[in-house]
Chains A and B, each alone.
Chain A
């Protein structure tokens, strides 16, 4: 079974500092990895995805993610955090076997950016 883990429930950073939200994965075969963001009282919004190719993936709102096959990680990063980046972030992996189509989500990491 495929799975992702987000080891930190909460990440706090100061505005202007770089941020990292961690995600590790466990898959059989090639990983198809995604990051989503959820603002209060809203549904999840897609940020970026890794399918194949470059290990550094660029996405929406200045976010990027680094895929590391040897460490089975897919950490979300941003060079300079904004207060408006404060939200709940989810890492997800897409199934590729007989259940292709559905995704498994991590438990989420709450990012708080303080002014």
Chain B
């Protein structure tokens, strides 16, 4: 299906475990983003990518790793999950250009116990 999809939609993991959230878009958008959404903090940018093999830190990158070997995929890895990383994670993509809007996935609700 066309669009941007995230998997899994829900994930429960234990403290210290590694977990990877997947994001796939079918538009060949240049830019891809990972945000986390927490009550009282709105949306905070974790990492973003301007193109394949180009990534950059956002506002809250600590504890996260990203890669982008293909334009359409942008996985987010929590190397050693902590309870503070319990959140809803959104992936988004957009075309190149400052006048372009972002398209968001449905989100992944991650709980670290």
Contact = CB atoms under 8 A, between A and B. Distances in A.
Contacts, number: 61
B101 A34 contact: yes
Interface in B80-113: 90, 92, 94, 96, 98-99, 101-107
A43 B107 contact: yes
Interface residues on B, range: 20 to 34
Task: State the majority secondary structure of interface residues on A.
Answer: loop
A43 B50 contact: no
Nearest to A108: B42
Interface of B: 30-31, 33, 35, 40-43, 45, 48, 50, 56, 58, 90, 92, 94, 96, 98-99, 101-107
Interface string A95-107: 1100111111111
Contact of B90 (A34, A44, A95, A101): A44
Nearest to B32: A101
A104 B41 CA distance: 12
